Structure 1
Amino acid sequence: MNTTQVVSLQQLTKKIGSKTIVDGLTFEVYPGEVFGFLGPNGAGKTTTIRMMVGLMSITEGEVTIQGRSVKRQFEEAMVHVGAIVENPEFYGFMSGYQNLMHFARMMPNVNKDRIDEVVKLVRLENRIHDKVKTYSLGMRQRLGVAQAILHRPSVLVLDEPTNGLDPEGIRELRDYLRELSRVEGLAVIVSSHLLSEMELMCDRVAIIQNGKLLDVRSFKEAPTETEKVEVSFEVGQLDAALELMEDGMLVKAEGAELVVLLANRREAVAAFNARLVEAGIHVFAIRAMTKTLEDQFLEVTRGNRIV
């Protein structure tokens, strides 16, 4: 991953009267990554995004995009941004292509070749010349992304883009956002309250609750070989297996499941399995106990649920 940040939030705060909606958010987003902004409804996600793209004033703190301050260098900063906040809007009586042409006339250095390129990226080649009023919600979302990236921005910001989409539409959106981040080198920022989709879509996710940043988690960082991981063994003789435990190894023993801490190496799992088999213990299944995003969310929010 490119280590030159595209977007930087430093102590970003929004107050309305005596109420603090967003409270001191600080994080960075880098080129080529899909960055998730996760939190329950009312956590401050949309308010943060509105401040990032200049639709709402900043009370305290700073947002910089490609080194330009949104507060002090607004136009220079926004040149690098493509965004869909809430729903994309188009002229329904015009085709998708005509809508893109209309938008392209307002932007410098956007030609027909670029329009054809983004249409292909969002996979609308077969319907781009149909009237937008005939488009499904998923197709409108794709056309919105095409419009947002026409001018080759450095960052694409999407606020709850999966709202209202069916499972197929959500999967299509996920696939081409990942492709955009790879092909265009875009930093993609996606807000959502859907845990499962964020886990499948994002490289990293910031967890926000009550306007505060609780944690930033990466899905790409695997444990090192010096760390220990939890591994579950489904065994036939649990009592006999417990006799093989060494200090600090046992995590859980329940029913037929034995969960143990082992070094993060395949050899360590194979060696412990061999010990079980040599002791005459039947092993029916082995699996790594990786934490889902839901587990991590509940861990950092101390069990408070997304609503």
Structure 2
Amino acid sequence: METTPVVQLQQVTKRIGSKTIVDGLSFAVKPGEVFGFLGPNGAGKTTTIRMMVGLMAITNGEVLIQGHSVKTRFEQAMLHVGAIVENPEFYGFMTGYQNLVHFARMMPNVTKERIDEVVRLVKLENRIMDKVKTYSLGMRQRLGVAQAILHRPSVLVLDEPTNGLDPEGIRELRDYLRRLAAEEGLAVIVSSHLLSEMELMCDRVAIIQNGRLLDVRSFKEAPSETEDVEVRFEVDRPDAALELLGEANRAKTEGSELVVWLPNRREATAELNARFVSAGIRVYGIRTLTKTLEEQFLEVTGGNRIV
């Protein structure tokens, strides 16, 4: 049985004057899932996130958090939400731990044990007693995630969380978010313009353009068996291999490789390899290529790059 979604957007629309910023967005996010939100600048990502966390009014449609409407049951819905919509802000003259204690006082039932638990989750044990003004940007982001999950939310919403981070900080944040989704059962929603990081971090991504949902792509699902995939055979005689195929397959040569599009079945690749070997064509390597997130994004958006 499919897990009940934590977050559901149902035909969410935002209009400002005569301009439609977000147009009928619908998707759902499940517990334990890292869900990416992709789109060119001005596509409506931040506007959608602001509506999800109650920072901007919804013109039409509905956002449900654990079944509670953000429009009509705002307080109940927000009890299940942790969010960092802008850069996390803290009191620099206080330690990381003092900041967390300060935020914990604003929330019900956050114990000292829970504070210690989130500190361990984001790996700040060695620096939590240092003043925040001594923290790097990456450490501030980790402290922000700790603060956002203090009250055990069902969903963590992060708008461009990797902005300003160096490669090591980005990798650390990615690992923390994956761990939180797995260990806390959190639904994590992340918007970003870094396509390569989204591909590594997310289970699924929603691609929007001009405020409309173009597609939702999963990284866990393999291509359908009815879908052709690109397979590259490194061979000693690529021209002979191409001639052997005849008109039966879409194929071409590139240097020492024969590039052929085959049905997405392991047997199809094995059968073609056997044909080459039987014909005396040496096969040195076989690679099956799938489209990167960037290629999929450009395909869906018609070449509209994220800048």
TM-score bracket for this pair, using the shorter chain length: over 0.9
Q: Larger deviation: 221-230 or 106-115?
A: 221-230
Indicate the residue corresponding to 1:150 in structure 2: 150
CA contact (8 A) 1:2 1:32 kept: no
Indicate the residue corresponding to 2:99 in structure 1: 99
1:113 counterpart = 2:121: no
Deviation at 1:236, TM superposition (A): 2.5
Q: Distance in 1 between matches of 2:224 and 2:294?
A: 23
Indicate the residue corresponding to 2:244 in structure 1: 244
CA contact (8 A) 1:34 1:188 kept: yes
Deviation at 1:224, TM superposition (A): 5.0
Superposition TM-score, scaled by structure 1 size? 0.96
Q: Secondary structure at the match of 1:64?
A: strand
Q: Distance in 2 between matches of 1:222 and 1:95?
A: 46
Q: Distance in 2 between matches of 1:107 and 1:207?
A: 34
Indicate the residue corresponding to 1:124 in structure 2: 124
1:45 counterpart = 2:45: yes
**Deviation per CA, 1:95-119, whole angstroms, max 9, x where unpaired?**
0000000111111111000000000
**Deviation per CA, 1:203-228, whole angstroms, max 9, x where unpaired?**
00000111111100000001355654
Deviation at 1:274, TM superposition (A): 2.4
Q: Secondary structure at the match of 1:261?
A: strand
Indicate the residue corresponding to 1:15 in structure 2: 15
Residue 155 and residue 285 in structure 1: after superposition, are their counterparts in 2 closer, same or farther (change >3 A)? Answer: same
Q: Distance in 1 between matches of 2:84 and 2:251?
A: 46
Indicate the residue corresponding to 1:291 in structure 2: 291
Paired residue type of 1:262: L
Q: Distance in 1 between matches of 2:293 and 2:160?
A: 18
**Deviation per CA, 1:77-101, whole angstroms, max 9, x where unpaired?**
0000000001001000000000000
CA contact (8 A) 2:159 2:190 kept: yes
Q: Distance in 2 between matches of 1:38 and 1:225?
A: 27
Indicate the residue corresponding to 1:63 in structure 2: 63
Paired residue type of 2:192: S
Tell me the C-alpha RMSD between the 2 structures: 1.6
Instruction: Among all aligned residue pairs of Structure 1 and Structure 2, give the percentage whose two residues are the same amino acid.
Output: 81
CA contact (8 A) 1:68 1:77 kept: yes
Q: Distance in 2 between matches of 1:5 and 1:243?
A: 52
Deviation at 1:234, TM superposition (A): 2.0
Paired residue type of 2:75: E
Paired residue type of 1:147: Q
> Runs of 5+ in structure 2 lacking a partner?
none
Superposition TM-score, scaled by structure 2 size? 0.96
Mapping of 1:1-307 within 5 angstroms?
Answer: 3-223=3-223, 228-245=228-245, 247-307=247-307
